[in-house]
Amino acid sequence: MFILELGSTKQINSVIIDFFRKKHVKDIVWKEELESLEVQKELLAKTVNSKLVLECHIDISYQRRFLKCLMHYLDTINATIDETLYKAFGRLYSGKEEKYYHVFYPIFEIDKLDSLTEVNTIILKESINIISNGTTGLITWQASQALADWAIKTSLENKTILELGSGVGLAGLAVSSLTPCNKYIFTDCHSDVLSLLKYNVKHNCDEILVDEKNPEEDMIFSGSVKDCKVEVRKLDWEWLREGICNEIGPVDLIFAADVIYDEFLHLPLINTIRMFLENGTKAAIIAFVERNEETVRVFREKLATMDLKIKDLEIVEPNYLSWKTPPIIHIIEVTIH
Ligand SMILES: C[S@@+](CC[C@H](N)C(=O)[O-])C[C@H]1O[C@@H](n2cnc3c(N)ncnc32)[C@H](O)[C@@H]1O
């Protein structure tokens, strides 16, 4: 986990967090304390000019919009604009856009923001495009934030969790750093997703044990995040090998987020879940956005016809992480009869 320093002027902390969470600039509530040149300097030093932002490539067009909107607000309240804002603006305009950039996920109890001086954040490298190289796995989807939020509040002491279709790894990194679980196994199938996933796990890790160069190996990374062992493995639901459960070892829970969007993948996904449930895994926890009612209905129906039991868990609201609602995010628990 990385640390984000908040401001000594508490009123601007929500603006700092909005910047890191890339809140739409039109929805940011700018504070009148920003009339002061000192407060403007502080906001800049904690956001666009902070060490973490200068070290990581973060979405440059968002940073430009943030500064533009801030300057527009200062104009509307007739405030003098500090020269550091103009300098940063010039620097950002001469920078070039990248195909991948770093995204910050500050994690803290939303109600407690006023009492904090710093917050923990996960930093992930992600693609600038929603779909690229034929996969949806190169960005973080909302359901994984909801799954992480649900998991942080759940008792996961000593549990081993296997995640299917981990994408860039947000859910697992939040769970491994903020819950007392014992082991978290990230998996995916696409080679670009696996290398980005490995990069992200490695960069948020405290100890590295295996760092495999060959992405075709099943286990390409292992290490630890705090006291939790972490692994990154290749696991393709369409090419399930006999004996895979033994290779992976005992798993208490399966996690999966935003993996039911494609009806062609339902059967391979359910077969994978079923195989682990038959080998002693207690339940699969699946989070998904309801984008298409029919796809969700078909998925539930297939689970039932394969003799699996579904329980809808309580709908979570953003609490530690932040995602947009609506759409509604469902979390279901799947067990074997
Ligand atoms: C929409 S993304 C969700 C990623 C991540 N769980 C999240 O919520 O941010 C779906 C993920 O499922 C993975 N996936 C698709 N088909 C798969 C398969 N046959 N085996 C394993 N993973 C698969 C994709 O590579 C992608 O990472």
Lowest-pLDDT range of 99-103, 135-139, 258-262: 135-139
Q: What is the pTM of this model?
A: 0.93
Residue 325 has pLDDT above 80, yes or no: no
Query: Residue 141: CB within 6 Å of ligand 1?
Result: yes
* Nearest alpha carbon to residue 288 among 270, 312, 252: 312
- The answer, yes or no, to whether residue 50 has pLDDT greater than 90, is yes
How many angstroms is it from 305 CA to the middle of ligand 1?
23
Ligand 1: which of 131, 133, 136 to mutate, judged by most atoms within 8 Å of the beta carbon? 136
* Cβ density class 230-255: b for 16+ within 10 Å, e for less: bbbbbbebeeeeeebbeebeebbbbb
Atom of ligand 1 at shortest distance to CA of 272? 20
Instruction: Report the SS3 class of residue 263.
Output: helix
Tell which residue, 170, 120, 176, has the closest CA to residue 142.
170
- Residue 262 beta carbon below 6 angstroms from any ligand 1 atom: no
Q: Is the pLDDT of residue 287 over 90?
A: yes
Please say if the pLDDT value at position 285 is more than 80: yes
pLDDT at 135: 84
Residue 100 has pLDDT above 80, yes or no: yes
Q: Is 258 in the pocket of ligand 1 (CB under 6 A)?
A: yes
What pLDDT is stored for residue 332 in this prediction? 97
Using the predicted structure, report yes or no on whether residue 281 has a pLDDT greater than 80.
Answer: yes
Output the residue whose Cα is nearest ligand 1's atom 13.
Answer: 165
Taking the C-alpha atoms of residue 209 and residue 53, their distance in angstroms, rounded to an integer, is 28
Q: What is the pLDDT of residue 159?
A: 97
What would the pLDDT profile of 162-202 be if each residue is shown by its tens digit? 999 999 999 999 999 999 999 999 999 999 999 999 999 99
Task: State the pLDDT confidence band at 77, using cuts at 50, 70 and 90.
Answer: very high
For 51-75, the pLDDT digits (tens) are 999 988 889 999 999 999 999 999 9
Q: Is the CB of 240 under 6 A from ligand 1?
A: no
Q: Tell me: the pLDDT tens digits for 102-152? A: 999 999 998 888 889 999 999 999 998 888 777 888 899 999 999 999 999
Q: Is 126 in the pocket of ligand 1 (CB under 6 A)?
A: no
Closest residue by CA, ligand 1 atom 2: 137
DSSP string, 35-63: GSHHHHHHHHHHTTTSHHHHHS-B-HHHH
**C-beta of 257 in contact with ligand 1 (< 6 A):** yes
pLDDT at 213: 81
86 pLDDT above the threshold of 90: yes
Which residue has better confidence, 328 or 226? 226
Residue 143 CB–ligand 1 contact under 6 Å: yes
Phi and psi for 295 in degrees, rounded to 5?
-65, -40
Please list the alpha-helical segments (H only) found in the chain. Answer: 13-20, 37-46, 51-55, 60-76, 83-94, 142-152, 170-178, 191-203, 244-248, 263-278, 293-305
Directed axis angle between helix 170-178 and helix 191-203, to 10°? 30
> How many CB atoms within 10 Å of residue 156?
21
Cβ atoms of 212 and 202 within 8 Å: the answer is no
Output the residue whose Cα is nearest ligand 1's atom 14.
Answer: 165
* Residue 304 CB neighbours (<10 A): 11
Residue 140 CB–ligand 1 contact under 6 Å: yes
Rounded to whole angstroms, the Cα distance separating 35 from 91 reads 23
41 contact partners, CB below 8 Å, separation of at least 6: 82, 84
pLDDT on residue 106: 95
Q: Which domains are delineated in the chain?
A: 2-127 (no CATH), 142-336 (3.40.50.150)
Among 271, 126, 251, residue whose Cα is nearest residue 183: 251
Assess whether the C-beta atom of 289 lies below 6 angstroms from ligand 1.
no
Ligand 1 lined by 238 (C-beta under 6 Å): yes
The DSSP line for 202-250 is: HHT-SEEEEE-S-TTSSEEEEEEETTEEEEEEE--GGGPPTTHHHHH--
Residue 312 confidence (pLDDT): 96
pLDDT of residue 95: 76
